[in-house]
Each structure stands twice: as C-alpha cells, then as structure tokens.
Structure 1
C-alpha cells in the first residue's frame, strides 16, 4: 500500500467525533449524566478547529512546495 501524507486536521476531527460519540454513549448507558447541549458544541467546535488546522497545514505545505520549486528554477 502506498504511503500517504499526514493530515492532522483529519486526525483531530476523528478524535473529537470519537470523543463526542463516547460521551453520548456513556450518557445513553446511564454511566454519566451529560446535558445534551454539551455534546453538540463540542462536536461543532472540534470540527471548526480541525478545519482551521487543515487550512494551516495546507498553507504551510503550499509555501514549502513553492519555495522548493523557486529554488530549483534558478
């Protein structure tokens, strides 16, 4: 299988949604008493944070790629 580049935004989104799912599961099983309005902002905030991380990662990689192509053109 070919290797792929590390994408921290997707990793963060997965961790946040997994955590929200575990919190919801604990609440549904009666192990924890979590208000419903806590899980939704946690999931939405995590997705916003992961999109920000993804955009920053893209910008850094694009800048690095542009610098490499400029140095090879000279």
Structure 2
C-alpha cells in the first residue's frame, strides 16, 4: 500500500460534516428533534477548525535532513 500525506484539515472538515449527517439522520429516524438551522453552525465551526488545522500543519518545521537535501539540490522522490 502506498503511503499518503496526512491532511488534517480535510480530516476535521470530514468529521464535522459526518456529525451533521448523524444529527439529521437521528432527526429523520425519530431519535431526537433537530432544528433546521443546526447544520449551519456545525459546518461553519468545522470549516474554521479545518482551516486552523491545515494552517498549523502547513507551518510545521521541516526536518534537518530534508533541508540538507534541498540545499544540495537533491529532490525528494515522488510516488
């Protein structure tokens, strides 16, 4: 299996959208009553937190080996 890069912003956004789906599925199934406007705050908070997670992930410091390789003109292999 090929390794893939972690995208925490997409993970957070997906979890919040899944939460919205669970809330409305529970409402449709009769488990609880959810007002129609519940989705908007959940989606907005999820997008805000996804943006913060993506920004924090994007500004992480690079390892010394990666910096050395780029300084010597070596490219990282792409898969």
TM range (shorter): 0.7 to 0.9
Cα gap change, 1:51 to 1:66, in 2 (>3 Å): farther
| Residue number in structure 2 paired with 1:26 | 26
| Residue number in structure 2 paired with 1:58 | 58
Give the distance between the partners of 1:67 and 1:56, measured in 2 at CA. Answer: 21
Cα gap change, 1:19 to 1:36, in 2 (>3 Å): same
Task: Give the TM-score, by structure 1 length.
Answer: 0.76
Cα gap change, 1:2 to 1:43, in 2 (>3 Å): same
CA offsets 1:14-64 (integer angstroms, 9 cap, x no match): 11111110101111222111112122111121012111101110111xx31
Structure 1 gaps, min length 5: none
| Residue number in structure 2 paired with 1:5 | 5
* Corresponding pairs, count: 70
Structure 2 gaps, min length 5: 73-79
Compare the two structures and name the one with the higher helix fraction. 1
Q: Which protein is bigger by CA-based radius of gyration? A: 2
Task: Give the TM-score, by structure 2 length.
Answer: 0.72
